[in-house]
Amino acid sequence: MPRKSRIDAPGALHHIIARGLDRQRIFQDNADRCDFICRLGNILKETNTRCYAWALIPNHFHLLLKTGRAPMSNVMLRLLTGYAVTYNRRHRRHGHLFQNRYKSILCQEDSYLMELVRYIHLNPLRANIVKSMAALDEYSFSGQKSIMLLGGTGIRNQHGGAFKKAKNLSFGRDPIGQTR
């Protein structure tokens, strides 16, 4: 039975998730993370794709991307294949790095967008990579600092009202419990 086609259209917002095979690490160290981020940045620039939220976790990643000139499937093919080849070469391994194909969930409502940005940026805290909101603000491998704290303009210009609400969300004493 064939797989369902992915829904994609110019300007569509996608919550992208990709996991390591058997939930194994896909980022062993900061060199891997930096390679992934640089590769992503170059592809986004070349395809005019916008990134509104992102977080790298040792065994998976989350991205919130808006389709640009190229279909999302082309963007992800270049990102995942290029990264896997480099990762395998660097770590002297062979075979698949990612489990199944990446998940792509369409984000169609501003109210969902607000929660999604929050969910993605809180992921390192939820995964115990960082221990506090202050540490999350300094974590280099998520968009929390660049998008939420420094007021990234991309999401604000496209989704002004929802972004203001997301930026001003009170994380309270239990930020993780609020997004379960």
| Residues 49-64, mean pLDDT to the nearest whole number | 96
pLDDT digits (tens, 9 = 90+) for 130-178: 999 999 989 999 998 877 655 544 444 444 444 444 444 433 334 444 4
Topology annotation, domain 13-168 = Alpha-Beta Plaits (3.30.70)
87 pLDDT above the threshold of 70: yes
The values of phi and psi at residue 149, to 5°, are -80, -40
Residue 103: its pLDDT value, please?
95
